[in-house]
Amino acid sequence: MDTAESLEIIRALANGVDPHTGEEFSADSPYQHPQTVRALFVAIQELERVKKTSGRKRELPDNAGKPWEDGEDHQLVSAFDSGKTIKQLSEEHKRTKGSIRSRLIKHGKVPF
């Protein structure tokens, strides 16, 4: 079961509806208890956050957030000195353009 399907089911429960039949729960149902409804809405918020975060991570390059090794730093500076753009370096090192720029600032290659 994926996050989207889970969210759909939990939203139905939070709204007092049986996700499988579409029928409303009776007033004495545990799903109608205020604390249960609040807990379900908290679960919805968390699942939405996870869904949003996982979507962002899929968009990031493979090496985003990983530590830089000395050899990679040396390659970065050499390639930049030879005329490669930040975009090209980003693609080669599989890192974000912001990460490349920050690293070049650290090495005094671009102004802060």
Spans of all domains in the chain: 3-59, 70-106
Contact 104, 73 (CB under 8 A): no
For residue 4, pLDDT beyond 90 = no
CA atoms within 13 A on the CB side of 102: 9
Q: What is the pLDDT of residues 59-88, one digit of tens each?
A: 788 898 899 998 999 999 999 999 999 999
* C-alpha 2 chain-centroid distance: 16
| Residue 58 confidence (pLDDT) | 66
Q: Is the dihedral of CA 95, 100, 101, 106 positive or negative?
A: positive
Q: What is the pLDDT of residues 14-63, one digit of tens each?
A: 999 999 999 999 999 999 999 999 999 999 999 988 877 765 666 788 89
